[in-house]
Amino acid sequence: MSHPEQVMYFRLREALPDYCIFSQVQLSQLVRVRKGHDFKQWFNRINRMSADFVVTDKSMNTIAVIEVDDKTHQRADRIEQDKKKDKALKSAGIEVIRWPAKPLPTVEAIRSRFWKPTEETFKPAVANQPDLGVLKEA
């Protein structure tokens, strides 16, 4: 992990103590191909792509993917790769949250992105995913 990603990991852990934080997760572990679709075709689209961080609840339901974008994400090839990654995750019903590497969000900013106050308790601001998601045809 890069230094900004290491810092982000510990900020995520502090901001979201009731969630599990996983780093460098292959997209093939997050999305699956719907029955009747070409597995090889979908796998080739996401092969070697990984999410910087995956946030799950204690039951391992995916809450969101966090991407830390440094200046390399401004290059044309990275912009294209990010679009493919976002599309695959979106088609699986997984929200992608992108934050710049400079400046990284504070613990409070992370917490407020994931939590919104209600009358008696806090509720996740990001929708819980009932399962790992299913890729839809592009």
Tens of pLDDT, residues 82-116: 898 898 889 888 999 999 999 999 999 999 998 76
Q: Residue 73 falls within a domain, yes or no? A: yes
Element (H, E) at 67: strand 62-69
What per-residue confidence (pLDDT) applies to 92?
Answer: 84
What per-residue confidence (pLDDT) applies to 106?
Answer: 96
Q: Residue 54 falls within a domain, yes or no? A: yes
- Of 87, 94, 89, 92, nearest to 63 by C-alpha is 94
**How many structural domains does the chain have?**
1
Q: Residue 77 falls within a domain, yes or no? A: yes
Q: Please give the angle made by the CA atoms of 7, 84 and 137, to the nearest 5 degrees.
A: 135
Rounded Cα distance, 31 and 38, in Å = 14
Q: Please give the angle made by the CA atoms of 13, 103 and 110, to the nearest 5 degrees.
A: 35
Q: Residue 68 falls within a domain, yes or no? A: yes
Domain of 16, CATH number, reads 3.40.960
What per-residue confidence (pLDDT) applies to 133?
Answer: 43
Q: What is the DSSP letter of 9?
A: H
Q: Residue 37 falls within a domain, yes or no? A: yes
Q: Residue 137 falls within a domain, yes or no? A: no
Distance of CA 6 to the CA centre of its chain: 16
Q: Residue 136 falls within a domain, yes or no? A: no
Mean pLDDT of 28-43: 66
Q: What percent of the chain has pLDDT over 70?
A: 72
Name the residue range of residue 99's domain.
Answer: 3-124
